[in-house]
Structure 1
Amino acid sequence: MALEVLVSDAQQALFHTWAIGSVFVLDIQEAPKSQFRALAKLLDWVDGEQTWCSRWEECFGEEYTSKSPAIEASAADTASDLNHQDATTSASAASDVVLESLSTLAITVTDAIHEDAVTPASTPPGIITGSIDTLSSIPNAGEDREACLRKASVWSQFHGFEPNPRARFNREFRRLARQMKWTPQERRSYRTVLFNADWEAHIGSELENLAHWQELCRLCSIDPIPTTIVGCMEVLADVLVNIFDLLDSQRTGANVLVFQDFQEFRKYTRKNRIYPIDEAKADTFLPIFLKKVL
């Protein structure tokens, strides 16, 4: 049985263009209006304001009149999405975007996430990064697994350093920096590279994997957990958690601290838990968690 495509080619082109700078994942089998709302939320478009309304009309060929919150699209909503032929015309300028397939599209760049200027940290010479494992598949115990993690991790590339894969990232990094006698500038550079490698190893970058998105929701104490990638992105974009805590939850098994107050989150994050946004890899889960705190 052929899969039903609910998002027209013209709408796909628009979503692709607008989503540059986000971790938005387009599902062509979901109603485009609900996905528009999810993308708008990620890009900080305000419901009812000019950007929202103009792009709604461009995508759906109708004037936006409702300021209702994002909801699950009804059958009527879906039918309305499919019947707007004007969207093809209004999207003609963007329709030349090459779409490699009609399957789920992962669109991930970090341009839409802003922070005060930070000098990018280049990869220090001699460092080879790679994946050890992903998210929930790493067990909390086991000597054989511990030995495997030590041997495979990016930390083991430093001569004479015996990595502890169950230590918190910042503690492990401080121990390594002292042993290597790095200057403050070298510390900044290596810290970002090591964090990226550890994040990839423990969290992964399978943006089209619903189970991974749901596991991140579980780690962030979201209940109920959404049943779609778009739903997961929508709730995770609002959650206040520090990415170092998320990484440490995989390294140590500790719970992730979820903040309800932004000022408390900001105060906590500025205590040596800041990550340079310019260094966030576009093809990872990192961008959706980053907030401007400086």
Structure 2
Amino acid sequence: MKTANFLKFNSPTVRICSPSYSFCYISSVSAKYSTNKQQHISSSRKGPMEAFFAQYPEFNHDETAPIWTEFKSLCEHKKWNENSKDRKEARNQFQDAMIAEFGRIYGTDNTSLSSWQKLCRTIKVSPIPQNIVACQKEVVSAHVNLVDLVDCQRTGKPIHIFPNLQELRKYTLSERKVFPMYKAKTQGLLKYLLREIL
């Protein structure tokens, strides 16, 4: 299986359900990027990642912590070993939630200039392009970890831009922040950030 380093809805209400599992997310909250931690918490509280972790009420989930760290903590809490069926099922569901969270934050409509511009701002493009084609060129040329793109909205920490694919690959594999490419390819903006890691 090929893996990739992991990737506004303008409508007032968004509904995202995992196709394979039981969690469902309904929100009327638009995510706004801010360095204020409290704003990060309030914008993410009703998101798909929180819906995923809400299935485990006995787990003390930290909404401001990196999502991959939280997933590993959940696995330790549940005492799931690496190859257990429960862990594999939870990971599949976690991946679905991660894609949905990316879409909630950055959008899924690849014809939306505002979505592209938000993505450009996050990956430190300056000046911000004023048309979609120019935005796409900037995004396609950027080497960023997609899990970190979601995390930066939760933690308030700026995204790290890698100088080349080799450095991104090294970081992604060492941190195990990889994502099945076949899932991410279905998402509008996300697919432009996919890089073949394995």
Whether these two folds match at TM > 0.5 is yes
Q: Against the structure 1 CA distance between its residues 123 and 266, is the aligned structure 2 distance closer, same or farther, given a 3 Å change threshold?
A: same
Aligned length: 176
**Cα drift, residue 193 of structure 1:** 2.1
Aligned mate of 2:2, from 98, 112, 116: 116
In structure 2, the residue matched to 1:178 is 76
State how 1:39-118 maps to structure 2 within 5 Å. Answer: 116=2
In structure 1, the residue matched to 2:192 is 288
In structure 1, the residue matched to 2:129 is 226
If the length of structure 2 is used for normalisation, what is the TM-score?
Answer: 0.74
* Aligned counterparts of 1:172 and 1:117: Cα–Cα separation in 2: 21
By percentage of residues, which structure has more strand? 2
* Aligned counterparts of 1:131 and 1:197: Cα–Cα separation in 2: 12
Question: Could you give the per-residue CA deviations for residues 249-292 of structure 1, whole angstroms, max 9, x where no partner exists?
Answer: 10111111111122111111112111111011524321111111
**Cα drift, residue 142 of structure 1:** 3.0
Unaligned runs of 5+ in 1: 1-114
* Aligned counterparts of 1:136 and 1:147: Cα–Cα separation in 2: 10
Structure 1 vs Structure 2: percent identity of aligned residues?
29
In structure 2, the residue matched to 1:142 is 38
Greater gyration radius: 1
In structure 1, the residue matched to 2:107 is 204
Q: Against the structure 1 CA distance between its residues 148 and 275, is the aligned structure 2 distance closer, same or farther, given a 3 Å change threshold?
A: closer
| Residue identity matched to 1:116 | K
1:270 aligns with 2:156: no
* Aligned counterparts of 1:260 and 1:208: Cα–Cα separation in 2: 28
- 3-state SS of the aligned residue for 2:167? helix
If the length of structure 1 is used for normalisation, what is the TM-score?
Answer: 0.52
**Cα drift, residue 227 of structure 1:** 0.4
1:159 aligns with 2:45: no
